[in-house]
Amino acid sequence: MAQLLDGSGKLGWVLLRSVIRFVFMFLNNCVAIPSYCLYLILLQPLRIWDSSAFWHVEGVMFKWLLAMVSSWGWIAGYTVTEWGDDVRPISEEEAMVIVNHQSTGDVCTLMMCFQDKGTVVEKMMWLMDHVFKYTNFGLVSLIHGDFFIRQGKAHRDKQLVYLKDHLDKYYHSRDRKWIVLFPEGGFLRKRRETSQLFAKKNSLPHLNHVTLPRLGATNVILKTLSAQQENGSVGNETGTTNQTGNKRKGLQWVIDVTIAYPKARPMDIQTWIFGYRPPTVTHVHYRMYPIKEVPVAPEALTDWLYHRFVEKEELLTHFYDTGSFPPEDGQKEAVPRPMLLDPVWLCVIQSFAFASGFVWYSVLQYLYCCIF
């Protein structure tokens, strides 16, 4: 009987905490997202006068919004430990980031672990499934200039044309630096069986923790944002200029990010919102490749990309067997780096969001009373 009461008490506390978190996040969205939009409407004259300054301000506010999402997990004890290469020294250089995709929580994890990487979040472009457009954060991503891609054979060719047009129109004009995509084209649980059948049919590696990537978006990004050399690789100078007239170097790196969850249990967005899972450490492994090592020819690029995901499979197998990633070449053992967020900074951002919401509500209420 005592055990039953104790279990009921714990369940009641989990439910109460989940309700409190949901109410807080609902209010957080109600003040933060409208404030972001209204600030940008107010700053439209700056966009006409100095577009680069406008997009810099927008990027800062975008980073703050992502920090709020990060704080939801941070408060619940969902933290990140990083492994492999340190990507902070190249945070101001242009890079394409390829990530394995297991659940909706992957995006939240990336939002958190990119917070301490300089201006990366401010100048980042995301490629996401078109369904994300219809979430609470979809309007923010539309304004920021992220690209929403439709999956499926019926849309594939058109989507790649739309992606190229989108990159030509928004990537350089808004001074973007990092572009993030999930080459698998969907969640692991949804694509694994199809991927394994395709691999068996074409004598490709059998993968359990990742799926074989799709080439389309990666190929378009490399061709659009990098200069192709005669030897079939990509170079360092794109020949394009940014809004200040400075010549851009183009993509300098491909950053291969591998996300691993303890016991292979992915964190989803529902967990981030309600916080019903005990404190959990998500492990993120980075591996950097200079862009000059990346081929552009379709067959060579396909082979290169397949090798990256075979490496991810090996990394994840080692992690699930041992609880850590394998050491890099020349190291005796891998050394993890805890990713830390400043709680004071998070509190300041949240306070600014609620203060902004109150100010905008007062202003709009006053205008409504004056008009009606």
Three-state DSSP string of 170-232: HHCCCCCCEEEECCCCCCHHHHHHHHHHHHHHCCCCCCCCCCCCCCHHHHHHHHHHCCECCCC
pLDDT at 354: 95
pLDDT at 151: 74
Six token digits for residue 129:
């499934």
Mean pLDDT of 162-166: 93
Six token digits for residue 110:
């990336």
Percentage above 70 pLDDT, the chain: 91
Mean pLDDT of 291-308: 92
pLDDT at 230: 44
Cα(121)–Cα(358) distance, rounded to whole angstroms?
A: 26
Assign 262 a pLDDT band (cuts: 50, 70, 90).
very high
Please state, rounded to an integer, the average pLDDT across all residues of the chain.
87
Q: At what angle do helices 51-75 and 343-371 cross, to 10 degrees?
A: 120
Render pLDDT for 37-92 as a digit per residue (tens, 0 to 9).
999 999 999 999 999 999 999 999 999 999 999 999 899 999 999 999 999 999 99
pLDDT at 231: 45
- Residues comprising the chain, all counted: 372
Q: Could you tell me which residues come within 8 angstroms of residue 191 by beta carbon, excluding any fewer than 6 positions away?
A: 184, 185, 211
Q: Which residues of 206-220 are buried (b: 16+ CB within 10 A; e: fewer)?
A: ebebbbbbbbbbbbb
Could you give the C-alpha distances from 114 to 85, 108, 262, 342, in angstroms and in order?
14, 10, 20, 13
Cα(180)–Cα(255) distance, rounded to whole angstroms?
A: 9
Cα(263)–Cα(82) distance, rounded to whole angstroms?
A: 17
Angle at 49 between CA 43 and CA 52, to 5 degrees: 80
Name the 3-class secondary structure at 39: helix
